[in-house]
């Protein structure tokens, strides 16, 4: 591969940033600086989402996870669709594989998720009706939550239930679950049932409401934040069990308009409100896309790292934020390299390790942000 001079200089800058936190070949040595240790020093759980397929088949990926992370979550394997090949059968092999990996390595395990409008099995439509929906939902949570009870740090009980543009009262998403269960209340029935059942089957797991698009300073984010806060407040008022808000944090180094997006005041105000309600906050799915950074790798990495530093440096100031997970650890397996990726045909570099599993400037920035956070009590 030919590397231009600017690209080379850029790479040097990225590696310089890595060196700034005292790293040398961290990907090769478990004794080096790790995301896990950087977080642990501040009482923050730090880790990532895992592809179980890669964990089974890619030894270098497995080693990187073992060296780096203190908390894991499956990218797909705990979701309703992958777990439910048919209405009466369950497929637990992949989820069990990750649970065993986490246990063997002393890592915390997150559950993602019981309820989502996506990744539902093909049989859902047609089989799930107004008559049996509650039973299907309760049985699913009993079976899955029960299987991993006591082993789960936190469950994303409901994922992405707010979609203001759907036009429903309260900003709720017109999701398949909303359609088959009573959505007329200030908390849709499927959400109440899911959280109550989750608490009953796994009282030790922290119960999380998880959503995206609530990070920015734009009008859309502000409206979505307001709707999410409305849901959380109503849940508390109705004594529906809830412990934390998950802020997914799929963010951009540069927006479509070519500007560097601003994350800060609105999000921090929300986190403060959540803290005052006695709830915790988790950064659950962070990555920084470089889709609109039209430059060489070095400059792209610098822009991504800059965003990791400023975003985490901001949100970690609030001690309600107890965990940071990136959505993947290496660019080799990021979901962002799908169809609508960069127009120049290059792969995105949104994660702390590149496709060759070498630490990038984003890694250094994440480590620095974790190390610089106030110590959690």
CA distances to 82, 109, 175, 270 from 50, rounded to whole Å, are 15, 11, 26, 28
| Minimum CB distance to ligand G3I, residue 56 (Å) | 12
Kindly state the number of chain residues that form the binding site for ligand G3I, as judged by CB under 6 A.
9
| Minimum CB distance to ligand G3I, residue 119 (Å) | 5
Site string for ligand G3I, 151-190 (x = CB under 6 A): --------x-------------------------------
Binding residue for ligand G3I, selected from 39, 65, 67, 76, defined by CB under 6 A: 76
Site string for ligand G3I, 246-285 (x = CB under 6 A): --x------------------------------------x
CA distances to 89, 135, 192 from 123, rounded to whole Å, are 12, 16, 24
Q: In angstroms, what is the C-alpha Rg of the chain?
A: 20
Residue found under tokens 């660019």: 331
Q: 120-131 burial, b if ≥16 CB within 10 A, otherwise e? A: bbeebeeebeee
Binding residue for ligand G3I, selected from 335, 347, 355, 357, defined by CB under 6 A: 335
**H helices within the chain, ranges in order?**
5-20, 35-40, 52-57, 59-68, 80-83, 93-104, 124-127, 133-147, 176-180, 189-201, 219-237, 265-276, 297-315, 361-371
**Under 8 Å between Cβ of 316 and 365:** no
Dihedral sign from CA coordinates of 88, 94, 96, 102:
negative
Binding residue for ligand G3I, selected from 119, 132, 135, 165, defined by CB under 6 A: 119
| Minimum CB distance to ligand G3I, residue 248 (Å) | 6
- Measured from each CB, the residue nearest to ligand G3I is 335
Per CB under 6 A, contacts with ligand G3I among 11-40 are: none
Binding residue for ligand G3I, selected from 6, 24, 118, 237, defined by CB under 6 A: 118
Per CB under 6 A, contacts with ligand G3I among 285-314 are: 285
Site string for ligand G3I, 207-226 (x = CB under 6 A): -----x--------------
Which residues lie near ligand G3I (CB under 6 A)? 75-76, 118-119, 159, 212, 248, 285, 335
């Amino acid at each position: 591969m030919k590397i231009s001079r600017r690209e080379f200089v850029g790479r040097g800058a990225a590696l310089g940033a890595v060196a700034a936190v005292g790293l040398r070949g961290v990907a090769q040595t478990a004794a080096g600086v790790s995301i896990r240790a950087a977080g642990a020093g501040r009482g923050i759980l730090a880790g990532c989402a895992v592809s179980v397929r890669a964990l089974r088949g890619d030894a270098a990926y497995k080693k990187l996870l073992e060296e780096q992370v203190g908390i894991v979550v499956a990218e797909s394997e705990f979701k309703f669709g992958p777990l439910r090949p048919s209405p009466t059968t369950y497929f637990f092999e992949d989820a069990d594989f990750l649970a065993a990996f986490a246990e063997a390595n002393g890592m915390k395990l997150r559950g993602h998720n019981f309820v989502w409008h996506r990744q539902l099995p093909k049989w859902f439509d047609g089989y799930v009706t107004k008559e049996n929906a509650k039973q299907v939902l309760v049985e699913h949570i009993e079976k899955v939550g029960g299987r991993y009870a006591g082993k789960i740090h936190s469950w994303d009980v409901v994922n992405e239930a707010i979609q203001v543009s759907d036009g429903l009262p309260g900003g709720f998403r017109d999701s398949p679950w909303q359609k088959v269960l009573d959505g007329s209340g200030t908390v849709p029935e499927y959400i109440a049932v899911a959280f109550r059942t989750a608490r009953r089957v796994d009282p030790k797991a922290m119960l999380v409401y998880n959503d995206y698009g609530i990070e920015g300073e734009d009008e859309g984010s502000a409206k979505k934040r307001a709707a999410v806060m409305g849901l959380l407040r109503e849940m508390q008022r109705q004594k529906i069990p809830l412990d934390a808000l998950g802020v997914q944090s799929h963010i951009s180094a540069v927006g479509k308009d070519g500007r560097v997006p601003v994350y800060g005041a609105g999000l921090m105000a929300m986190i403060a409100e959540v803290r005052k309600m006695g709830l915790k906050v988790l950064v659950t799915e962070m990555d920084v896309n470089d889709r609109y950074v039209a430059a060489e790798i070095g400059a792209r990495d610098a822009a991504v790292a800059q965003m990791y530093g400023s975003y985490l440096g901001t949100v970690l100031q609030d001690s309600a934020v107890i965990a940071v997970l990136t959505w993947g650890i290496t660019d080799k397996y990021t979901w962002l390299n799908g169809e609508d990726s960069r127009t120049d045909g290059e792969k995105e570099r949104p994660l702390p390790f590149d496709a060759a599993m070498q630490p990038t400037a984003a890694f250094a920035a994440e480590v620095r942000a974790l190390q610089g956070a106030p110590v959690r009590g």
